[in-house]
Structure 1
Amino acid sequence: MLRGRARRTPGAVLLAADGEWLTAEDLAARARRIGRALIASGVRPGDRVALMAPNSPAWGAAAFGVWEAGAVLVPLSTRYKGLEAGGLLRRTGARVLMCAERFRDTPSTGAIGRAEGRPEGGRPFAGLPGLAEAVLLDVEPGGPEARREGTVAFAAFLDRAGAVPEAAAEERALGAGGGDLAEVLATSGTTGEPKGVMIPHGQLLRGYWDWASVVGLDGEDRYPVIAPFSHGFGVNAGLLAGVMRGARLLPQAVFDPGGLAGLIADEGATVLAGPPTLFQGLLARRAAGERFPALRVGICGAASVPPELVRRLLDEGVVRRMVNAYGLIEGTVVSMTREGDPVEVVAGSAGRPMPGVQVEVVDEKGGPLPPGARGEILVGGSGVMDGYWGDPGRTAEAVDGRGRLRTGDVGVMSERGDLSVVDRKKDVFTVGGFSAYPAEIEALLVRCPLVAAAAVLPVPDERLGEVGCAFVVPADGGAGASAADTASEVTAWARENMANYKVPRRVVAVESLPVSANGKTDKAALARRLADGRER
């Protein structure tokens, strides 16, 4: 696909940010060089290569370089702390980590090193024996970071490319087939430990070609990619879809909501994707007197969209068309509204299933339900993942004997075939567009020396939609610090060791957690405490 794009429109700018522009020809050439350097570094077909860096043209080139080497991309969020990144590197058996050192206050390798140990035996982290090397994307040769054992500066890494003949690299690149694994994407769940979703090349190309077709994405579009490339939407509906269709991508390393209107005006952005709060912010800017051109299309997902919001966006000229969609990492793109759908359908549903995707709404026994009945959404067809990396047990729980994905979401199908997602069967809430899983946050919290037990609930938040509230039992039984001090110290620990969207915005120290008749934490009782103002 990348070669075809470079042949057809070699001079078309595909990635532009902070003064760096990559044309299709540039992207293909950089990807080939990175691929050769990875091969020279010992990366074999099917090896996992992790990428931990902010959105940028360099991220795009590195991702395509991983695929050039026939390897599997494992994107890691820059929001991850050492415990989170180290855990995923271990579980996926990543051979190489490509990372940015200077994006956050704490270098990536420094954060991981605190969790996984110092360099040992030529490897960057003692606790990750499968990880051979860390490639520092933003460090020059000779820099102090690059002198650490097991690390190499990006320029020195690229110099290795010359050791691999172009013909051998080309054979490796073109040896990848549609059924070969392209990505392992991290997703959490009710078990508390992130899972790696396996997605092959052919599935990505089909799913996101269809997504881009519904959106109408083409070479005239300017598309700010706000979702991190480390997220399934960012890398696939952003990077991959944009390169496929020749759109100009404007990757945002750090998103400033207050600057969005200016970005649209200055860069001529025509396409924007994000949660409803993103579009509500644009309406507020318009109401405050800011002038910016109407977007050709806005894409919402991950939340129900108030009908009045859609109407105002259209009536006030913020967007000319809105699209609502439903997808999940395990199921790729499931459904989308289509051009010409009435406002009520766009606001009240996620549209009709995509080509090659089958959607059923079933009862507790798996039997099909009629239109209008509420039940679990099952997804079959071309978008279903290959499974969870190294976890056949959880794969079997998620995918039934007919190859249908049990989404854990509750939905209703209309008479005309539009799907509405009305509830979550899984224990999950959404923080500013990011899925947060209480079980994962609880599992991290109990690793804090101050915490003996924890329970996390979502609470409403005006800016982010929902945030976490954590009830914690102090490790000393409450005999030491005051409840306020405990809450403050646990919050500080969480900020050091969790991605920021997972950090509970409220921490409540309690003597014990209530339990239900089956011995599990009674979260309904905790929710009642919050509602009644009885936190302790």
Structure 2
Amino acid sequence: MIAEDDQWRFTTIPALCARAARVYGDRLAVEDAGMTLSFVELDAMRRRMAKAMMAAGVEKGDRVMIWAPNGWRWFVTALGLVSAGAVLVPASTRFKGGEIADLVKRSGTSLLFSVGDFLDRYYPDQLKPDTRARLREVVVFEGPRGGDRDWEAFLAAGDEISDADQAAREATVGPDDLCDMLFTSGTTGYPKGVMYAHRQCLRGIDGWATRVGIREHDRVLVIPPFFHAFGYRCGAIVSMMRGAVLIPHLTYDAEEILRRVQDSGITVIPGPPAVFHGMLQHPGLAAFDTRTLRLGVTGGASVPDVLVRRMREDLGFEGVVSGYGLTECGGFGTMCDASDPDAVIARTAGRAMPDTQVRIMGADGAFVPDGEPGEVVIRGYSVMKGYFEDPVATRETIDADGWLHTGDIGVLDANGNLRIEDRLKDMYITGGFNCYPAEIERILSGHPAIGVVSVIGVPDERLGEVGRAFVILRPGKTASEEEIIAWARANMANFKCPRAVEIRTSLPMSAQGKVQKQRLREELAGRVGVAV
């Protein structure tokens, strides 16, 4: 943990940047596609970007959106805008023009930063005319076209602002001011803007970094997108906080990741289980040198015992930790400790973060005893300020006693470790028995031929709903659908066994590396004779 005499910890992100420059100086802070920045240079860049924001007319409290993949310009822009008192609104690179239009309108975004050419398209071309009309301007990181502004030119325009004026603006930014507004995935309707403040953000990152063991000089490969809380906070900001090197990763590709580990001496990889599954599934894994790997940080989905074991044995991680969180609590819910036994790391998401509470609540609103399932609820500093301009949804999610209702089903053991059973919405009922896909996926992952598995419930005339498993086999392994079902019947209660198995070469994945179960449901619905 950092020295107690540093007062930045629970103040603001710009104070953290300045502190990192003082403490870590000319050491390497960011390494990205041939571009390197020391901590001093990073601090100077974010101050210059803050001036550019001021020159562009950005006022304290304005919302500024970034619609781009991971990269050093993304991070510098984010640090600069919060240093000018603005609120960061990250947008997924998977969003299309219509989705961005809705996000711009509902967030009140006044300025948009975008990638230029990416994934075979010029991204700003997707913007609708009425979206552009709402924006002061569109700034493109590289290769602007038409009337879009070049990022370098935008940055240079801030040089007319004095250091004193920039410092004065920064001094107005307080610990309880909003630093960002991340929009939820919108699985229950329109995405909602989660409001988060500087102090709670830094406090959460500090507690998380201490729990998992991020160290000075670590080289952190950040694969989760910056537009997600995990990538931005537990990848980019934590590196600056702990004196580690931030190495942004652009798009997910298992072979490219293995090569970067080998060539760049990566020590830490945060990411969902799919990232590590992909590395382990690569047929050429044995040819790569992964001995520098020290810490693998995962969570956000089922983490089977076999994955933890293989991350240690086949990838060479000294430590593996898992955790649980959601955007509404900053991504900070529970976390394992690197010293926890493998059984705790694989079968639970660890304990509540410091100075927060995690309980299990029954349908009647009463807390249930340890060992019994119910809804996971969280209370403490990490709970969001609320949903932007949506007091009704805020009251529905945070009750009168301050408990954040997560919508996840979980169980606490006697030591306070949380085991997530599933999302309330993903649970299905077979013949009167509750079935939790995450539990079934954990069991199926123990099959020697299964590399990746995802389970959903589908309608059934006799039983109401039954399970359907989608499986990717390990390289060099074979298994038929019938064999997997037979194995399941021998290893789990009959009502949990999938009634159908599909062996696939790929599964639809979100930008956060999670299987998109809704797309699987939609795919099934489009097939003749298959109901969902």
Which TM-score tier does this pair reach, normalised by the shorter chain?
A: 0.7 to 0.9
In structure 1, C-alpha distance between the alignment counterparts of 2:473 and 2:176, rounded to whole Å: 38
Is 2:356 aligned against 1:341?
A: no
Q: CA deviation at 1:232?
A: 1.1
- The one-letter amino acid of 1:58's match is R
Q: Structure 1 residue 250: deviation in Å?
A: 1.0
Report the CA distance between 1:166 and its aligned residue: 1.3
Q: Residue in 2 aligned with 1:11? A: 26
Matches within 5 A, 1:522-533: none
CA distance in 2, matches of 1:37, 1:502: 42
Please tell me the residue identity of whatever aligns with 2:89: V
Compared CA separation, residues 201 and 323, structure 1 to 2 (3 A): same
Aligned partners of 2:472 and 2:99: how far apart in 1? 25
SS in structure 2 of the partner of residue 84 of structure 1: helix
> Bigger CA drift: 216-225 or 500-509?
500-509
Percent same amino acid among aligned pairs?
37
The equivalent position to 1:197 in structure 2, one of 162, 180, 194, is 194
Which one-letter code corresponds to 1:180 in the other structure? D
Within 2, Cα distance between the matches of 1:73 and 1:306? Answer: 35
What is the CA distance between 1:426 and its match in structure 2? 3.6
User: Which residue of structure 1 lines up, in the alignment, with residue 493 of structure 2?
Assistant: none
| Pair 1:387-2:383 in alignment | no
Matches within 5 A, 1:236-385: 236-285=233-282, 288-294=285-291, 295-316=293-314, 318-332=316-330, 333-385=332-384
Deviations 1:51-77, CA, capped at 9 Å, x for gaps = 111111111111101111110000111
Relative distance call for 1:281 and 1:109 in structure 2 (3 A) is closer
Q: Distance in 2 between matches of 1:508 and 1:346?
A: 34
TM-aligned CA distance change 1:165 to 1:426, over 3 Å: farther
Contact 2:280–2:315, Cα closer than 8 Å, also in 1: no
- Provide TM-score, normalisation by structure 1: 0.77
- Aligned residue pairs, count: 445
With over 3 angstroms needed to count, the CA separation of the structure-2 counterparts of 1:165 and 1:422, relative to structure 1, is same
Cα distance in 2, alignment partners of residues 535 and 374 from structure 1: 29
Q: Which amino acid aligns with 1:136?
A: V
Contact 2:27 2:39 in 1 (8 A): yes
Are positions 1:87 and 2:102 aligned together? Answer: yes
Whether the 8 Å contact between 1:178 and 1:202 is mirrored in structure 2 is yes
How far off its partner does 1:279 sit? 1.9
**TM-score w.r.t. length of structure 2:** 0.78
Tell me the equivalent position of 2:480.
none
Structure 2 CA distance for aligned equivalents of residues 385 and 23 of structure 1: 32
Work out whether 1:163 is the aligned partner of 2:178.
Answer: no
Which residue in 1 is equivalent to 2:461? none
**Structure 2 residue 208 is matched with structure 1 residue 211:** yes
Q: Is the 8 A contact 2:212 2:336 kept in 1?
A: no
Partner SS, residue 289 of structure 1: helix
Q: Look up the SS of the partner of 2:286 in the other structure.
A: coil
Shift of 1:272: 1.0
1:408 matched to which residue of 2?
A: 407
SS at 2:25 equivalent: coil
After TM superposition, give the deviation of residue 270 of structure 1 in Å. 0.7
Report the counterpart of residue 442 of structure 2 in structure 1: none
2:137 alignment partner in structure 1 = 133
Counterparts of 1:272 and 1:464, CA distance in 2: 24
1:199 and 1:459 mapped to 2: Cα distance? 38
Measured after TM superposition, the shift of residue 129 of structure 1 is 4.8
Give deviations 1:392-437, integer Å, cap 9, x for gaps: 111111100111100000000001111111111145999x99x9x9
Per-residue CA shift, 1:317-352, capped at 9, x if unaligned? 621111010011101211111132111111100011
Unaligned runs of 5+ in 1: 118-125, 439-456, 466-494, 511-528
The DSSP-based 3-state class of the residue aligned with 1:62 is helix
Distance 2:43 2:467 in 1: 44
Partner of 1:488: none
Which residue is equivalent to 2:424?
425
The 3 A distance-change label for structure 1 pair 285 and 59 is same
Shift of the 507–350 alpha-carbon distance from structure 1 to 2, 3 Å rule, reads closer
Q: Answer whether contact 1:71 1:182 (CA < 8 A) is retained.
A: yes
C-alpha contact (below 8 Å) 1:261/1:285 kept by paired residues:
no
Which whole-Å CA distance do the structure 2 matches of 1:14 and 1:242 have between them? 8
- CA deviation digits over 1:98-153, x for unaligned, max 9? 1112123222221122xxx2xxxxxxxx24654211112213xxx6x2x42xx322
Q: Quick check: 2:351–2:417 contact (8 Å CA) kept in 1? A: yes
Q: Which residue does 2:127 correspond to in 1?
A: 112
User: For 2:401, what is the secondary structure of its paired residue?
Assistant: coil
Contact 2:279 2:285 in 1 (8 A): no
Superposed CA RMSD: 3.0
Q: Does 1:398 align with 2:397?
A: yes
Instruction: Using the TM superposition, give the Cα deviation of residue 15 of structure 1 relative to its aligned residue in structure 2, in angstroms.
Output: 1.3
How far apart are the structure 1 equivalents of 2:223 and 2:307? 20
Q: Matched residue of 1:85: which SS?
A: helix
Indicate if the aligned counterparts of 2:213 and 2:338 stay in contact, CA closer than 8 A.
no
Task: Give runs of aligned pairs for residues 454-473 of structure 1, distance below 5 A.
Answer: 460-462=469-471
TM-superposed CA distance for 1:163, in Å, is 2.8
What is the Cα deviation at residue 3 of structure 1? Answer: 0.4
1:286 Cα deviation after fit: 8.2
Is 2:46 the counterpart of 1:31? yes
Contact 1:49–1:97 at 8 Å: present in 2 too? yes
Contact map agreement 1:283 1:318 (CA 8 A) in 2: no
Partner of 1:181: 178
Going from structure 1 to structure 2, the CA distance change for 1:341 and 1:508 (only over 3 Å counts) comes to closer
| Partner-residue secondary structure (3-state), 1:408 | strand
The alpha-carbon distance between structure 1 residues 8 and 225, as it changes in their structure 2 partners (threshold 3 A), is: same
- Structure 2 counterpart of 1:168, which letter? D
